[in-house]
Amino acid sequence: MTDIVSERSALFLGSRLKRLAERMQSQVVLLAEAADLPLQPGHMPLLGTLDSDGPQTIGGLSEAMQLAQPTVTRSVAKLAELGMVEITREHRDQRQKTVSLTPAGRDALDRAKIMVWNRTEAAVEEMLEELGAPFLDHLTAMERMMSEEPINRRAARHVEAGVSIQPFTDDLAAAFRSINLEWISDMYEVEAADLKTLDHPREAIIDQGGAILFAVVEGVGPVGTCALKRSGGDAVELTKMGVLKTARGARIGEMLMQAAIEEAGRMGASPLYLLSNRKSAAAIRLYEKHGFAHDADIMQAYGAAYERCDVAMRFRG
pLDDT by position in tens, the chain (length 317): 889 999 998 889 889 999 999 999 999 999 999 999 999 999 999 999 999 999 999 999 999 998 999 999 999 999 999 999 999 976 555 457 899 999 999 999 999 999 999 999 999 989 888 887 777 788 888 889 999 999 999 998 999 999 999 999 999 999 999 999 999 999 999 999 899 999 999 999 999 999 999 999 999 999 999 999 999 999 999 999 999 999 999 999 999 999 999 999 999 999 999 999 999 999 999 999 999 999 999 999 999 888 899 999 999 98
Last residue of a domain, one of 123, 158, 193: 158
Nearest to 163 by CA among 214, 211, 120: 214
Number of domains in the chain: 2
290 and 247, same domain (yes or no): yes
Write down the pLDDT at residue 94.
Answer: 46
- Residues 198 and 107 grouped into a single domain: no
Domain around 189: 163-315
297-303: long-range pairs with CB below 8 Å, 24+: 298/271, 298/273, 302/231, 302/235, 302/237, 302/273, 302/275, 303/275
Looking at the structure, do residues 10 and 153 belong to the same domain, yes or no? Answer: yes
Give yes or no: residues 150 and 180 share one domain: no
Please give the full DSSP string across 162-212, using - where no structure is assigned: TEEEEE--GGGHHHHHHHHHHHHHHHSPPPHHHHHHHH-HHHHTGGGT-EE
Query: What pTM value is reported for the model?
Result: 0.85
Per-residue model confidence (pLDDT) at position 139 = 83
Residues 127 and 29 in one domain: yes
- List of residues 6+ apart from 27 with CB closer than 8 A: 146, 150, 151, 152
What's 238's domain CATH number? 3.40.630.30
Q: Which of 129, 158, 187 is the last residue of a domain?
A: 158
The CATH number of whichever domain residue 120 belongs to comes to 1.10.10.10
Please check whether residues 285 and 309 belong to one and the same domain: yes
Please indicate, yes or no, whether residues 137 and 171 belong to a single structural domain of this protein.
no
